[in-house]
Amino acid sequence: MTDSAGIPGGTGAAGGERRPPWTRRRRLLRWIGLGLALLVLVGTAAGWWLYNKLDGNITEDTSAAAELARYERERPAPLATGARNLLLIGSDSRSGRGNAGYGEDKGTQRSDTTILLHLPQDRRSATAVSIPRDLMAEIPSCLRPDGSRTGASFAQFNWAFEWGGAACTIRTVEKLTGIRIDHHMVIDFSGFKRMVDAVGGVEVCLAKPIDDVQAKLRLPAGRQTLRGEQALGFVRARHSLGNGSDTERMERQQQFLGSLVKKVQSSGVLLNPTRLYPLLDAATSSLTTDAGLASLRNMYELVRGVRGIPTDRITFLTVPRRPYAPNPNRDELVQPDATRLFRQLREDEPLTVTPPEPSPSNAARTPAAATPSPSATASRTAPEGNSTGEGTPTPSAPIPTFTGTTAGNAECR
């Protein structure tokens, strides 16, 4: 007698009807499809949650926007279409989470670090210009946090941030340089440390050991990877390193930022989700920005346009300055070098930086000269039909050269 289980479409041992193989496969594919749909749904929800979290981290500086709008007619007009100028401000405020350990919060803050970052229209390079905190500058009348207003005065540059926050600093920089500031970012001590930790530390090279009690920094000479607290001490230390000037501190800050740029551009950060997300979280939760950057989308658009810049095209320099005659502990601009630098940036024209000559005098508070260098300048040609009327190319003025460095040089040798 033939077993009915062996007959296609017959009944099995349990008396039920056996399903054809194609039916079982269809059911399996249905479950796989449902599982994949569920994974996509969960992934989309998680991605949306992460996006909104990062987007909500950013603090918009509405008070600065209102103050700048009040003085819009006094501000420089943007002269180079597509170029962008960002003002990066490091605040020494003791308020906020993680900052109380650096001193008593007296309700005031100054800008320990101020950097003007110029991004040209073609986004093939970037120039970061440090503005000394001790530079004597014309500070306009500014709105205080308590609603009162200061009078216009000639004073130390970083007082502008104490008196009127980012808006006052922006207006002071615009008055000093004639350059329109398109965006600004403010970061405090705690935020800086979190960003450094998020990339796994930043490498620097020390020619000599460091033992700075005030900065709580003790390091041997040689190659060092600095993490949050050590990194903050390194960029803030002043009195026990070198000649104790703010000039040397700015050079260390530029060295550190160059190394940070290289680290962030490396595949170890940008292609590693376990490091990229902490970096984005630290960056967005640590920044106070203008409305134009106060969203993850706008910030991403900015970063996307510059992430491919080669490190040897990311330059760092300090405004040409020298000791202020009435008070050598303060700085003043060196002219016409400073005017030439500001004009190049304002008109989105190229400039070149060369490292300082290796000598013991490099640590002194000497001006950063802007002199043409045959080995580091280039000439451009005018189009046909130029002012000579002969229709042949005419060499233009050489590209001005300033003392500085590049992110490509920020490495141990």
Say if residues 403 and 356 touch (Cβ distance below 8 Å): yes
| β-sheet bridge partners, residue 137 | 155
Token pair for 120? 């040209």
d(Cα 315, Cα 217) in Å, to the nearest integer?
28
pLDDT of the chain along its 413 residues, tens only? 444 444 444 444 445 556 666 676 777 667 666 666 666 555 555 555 566 777 778 889 999 999 999 999 999 998 777 899 999 998 865 444 544 444 444 445 667 789 999 999 999 999 999 999 999 999 999 999 899 999 999 999 999 999 999 999 999 999 999 999 999 999 888 888 888 998 889 998 888 888 887 777 888 888 989 998 899 888 887 765 655 567 778 888 888 888 888 888 876 777 777 777 888 888 888 889 999 988 888 887 887 778 789 988 999 999 999 999 999 989 999 999 999 999 999 999 999 888 876 544 343 343 444 444 333 333 333 333 343 344 444 446 678 888 888 887 755 55
Say if residues 207 and 221 touch (Cβ distance below 8 Å): yes
pLDDT the model gives residue 385: 37
| Long-range pairs of 32-36 with CB within 8 A, sequence gap ≥ 24 | none
pLDDT the model gives residue 325: 93
CB atoms within 10 A of CB 9: 9
Three-state DSSP string of 267-313:
HHHHCCHHHHHHHHHHHHHHEEECHHHCCHHHHHHHHHHHCCCCHHH
pLDDT per residue over 360-388, tens digit each?
Answer: 434 334 344 444 433 333 333 333 334 33
Look at residue 99 and give its three-state secondary structure.
coil
pLDDT the model gives residue 399: 82
The DSSP code for 251 is H
Look at residue 358 and give its three-state secondary structure.
coil
What is each CA distance from 332 to 154, 157, 245, 283, in whole angstroms?
A: 12, 10, 14, 33
pLDDT the model gives residue 16: 54
Listed in order, strand segments (DSSP E) in 53-146 are 59-60, 84-91, 111-119, 126-130, 136-139
> Which residues have CB under 8 Å from 73's CB, separation 6+?
none
Say if residues 224 and 205 touch (Cβ distance below 8 Å): yes
The DSSP code for 152 is P
CA 180 to chain centre: 18
| Stated pTM of the model | 0.77
d(Cα 109, Cα 170) in Å, to the nearest integer?
15
CB atoms within 10 A of CB 120: 19
Does the domain at residues 59-351+399-409 carry the CATH identifier 3.30.70.3190? no
d(Cα 343, Cα 341) in Å, to the nearest integer?
5
pLDDT the model gives residue 31: 65
Amino acid letter at 201? G
pLDDT the model gives residue 36: 65
d(Cα 313, Cα 408) in Å, to the nearest integer?
8
pLDDT per residue over 280-315, tens digit each?
Answer: 888 888 889 999 988 888 887 887 778 789 988 999
